[in-house]
Structure 1
Amino acid sequence: MSEKNAGTLPPQPAEDPTAERRKEDHIELAFRSQVEALGLDPRFDYEPLLAAHPAPGSLTPVSFGQKQLRAPLWVSSMTGGTEKAFVINHNLARACAEFGLGMGLGSCRPLLYGHERLRDFDVRPITGDDVPLYANLGVAQIQDLLDAGRAGEIQQLVEALRVDGLIVHVNPLQEALQPEGDRFRVSPLATIEALLAALPELAVIVKEVGQGMGPASLRALLRLPLLAIDTAAGGGTNFSKLELFRSDDLDREAFGPLTRVGHTAAEMVQTVNALLAESSTGARPQVQCKSLIVSGGVANFLDGYYLTKQSTLLAIYGQASAFLRYAREDYPTLRRYVASQVRGLELAEAYLRPRF
């Protein structure tokens, strides 16, 4: 090309002040950033051409009960009744208010015996009225209250905490392996049905405590007028295993196999989908349960995004241990974690398409 016809560079913009440092970083980090083909996440198609960078706060709100979540993320029930619970619950409540998440309180059983620990659970002033907030009792406590004709105390608890409803945790293996464990006199299903009959206006969520539920249990729950089923599947905190750590070596060896039974969150989502397909044929009673909380082994936003998109039933996802890890520290640390998860969901919505 002659000098006369040679092209010219475009006008030079102002100097990029980060260019040299950024390029040096790229050189130094390139070898550490290799990803083997076998390490690619097979659950998604990555579509980089189809969206601009999503604006913060761009997730579509999700209806849950009478309220909405700004992100499909649920703070799963964790702790109550200890000194540490006050800091943990109040940090979590603050995060739920800021990011528009839902929250399940830890077991409120201590409040059935006195009000000394009320401050641990009284987080509605922090969450504000827009956040879905649910109390939590074990099915054994529900059974005792119903048998004693004290169902009104459940309603009083709900009103005292200004929550939107009640989570009932079902934990027969945990109770059996716990030295101080309660004993069920009737099936948990019978107790849940009695609760719904006694308090028909109460929004109820049913969850396991770390081992999930099989098809027969899920089928029975889907037929009930529940707000949600929380999978609380294997892969997260297993409370049966936790109780064995409180026992001696003989019990740990003898009963250890029971802690390895259960169902994963992915398995339970597929089971619920199959049961919904069953019900649509008219061969089974129609499903009354309104939604699913996918929890148990959900390690990050990609797990949650994939599993909720897989669900036929309206679904959000829950985490416990990840939140707990950061909620024990200062709020800015927890806030940074939650912000990263919400931003991850926004990027996933923009650029990832789940493969089913």
Structure 2
Amino acid sequence: DIYPGETLGLVGESGCGKSTLGRAILRLTEPTGGQVLFRGKDLAHLSQREMRDERKHLQMIFQDPYASLNPRMTVGQIIGEPLETFRIATGRGRDEHVQELMETVGLSKRFIKRYPHEFSGGQRQRIGIARALAVDPDFIVADEPISALDVSIQAQIMNLMERLQRKNNLTYLFISHDLRAIRHVSDRVAVMYLGKLVEIADAKVIYDEPLMPYTKALISAVPVPDPEIEATRKRMVLEGDVPSPINPPQGCRFHTRCPFAIQACKEVVPPLAEIKPNHFAACIRISPEQPHIEKVAEGDAPGLRDAQRIIAT
């Protein structure tokens, strides 16, 4: 679930399915199964006409701010297009609304007749944000919105998104492979591996007390600014290559690289279970009674019985 007004950060290695999930939620990529529930409606099974009505409430900020903007359209036309598509404003009213949106995202209304190639990367991303805001959405998928930008510009865009969220009570799915950015903007964090969510918890809990071995490895790879701490801290290094998402391993998809894997991990698909209050993880080596993994006997799988019970029901 993504709660109203929150930012859920979605993190994972490149190619694990983060962007595909975001696009599937909005039906930009057609889902092949499952449900996408929004206000009680299953978006995955709506007709094109019904989905068109819902798109006013659901918008996306794309990773590449240049590729997502039509180079033959002016900024005014780009931002104004959804206003006309959803019959929100036309003519002079549309132009006034476009100018308000430009000022909201920190762009001068003097730029209204300029084309995308005349702007910097950060300015283009602001145009993309203004376009998403044009229809007054409730939920925005932000797909790697800062990865193509310089570090100094990244902070500006994240601060802008936070300010707009407070002002408009927006809900974000913030997709990134940058764990530092995810920590800065997210209320909760979901970790994905090979197309599966393997851990979800409050952002502070994920970074301070991760449960899944994969999450621990991700966080241990984040550099620490203090050189003394960086030189002494232990890193969890994963061996082997990431399996193909087309033909993922049986059982737990992470078992081929997990230092704590046992035979049962190769056979049982772990459910995403609540190990601690509001802290979910997919691992049969942990359970509510034993939330910490250790290298112990081969047959040890504290959460196996719980996993089999959940799967059976």
How does the TM-score come out when normalised to structure 1? 0.32
Q: Please identify the structure whose Cα radius of gyration is greater.
A: 1
Structure with greater proportional helix content: 1
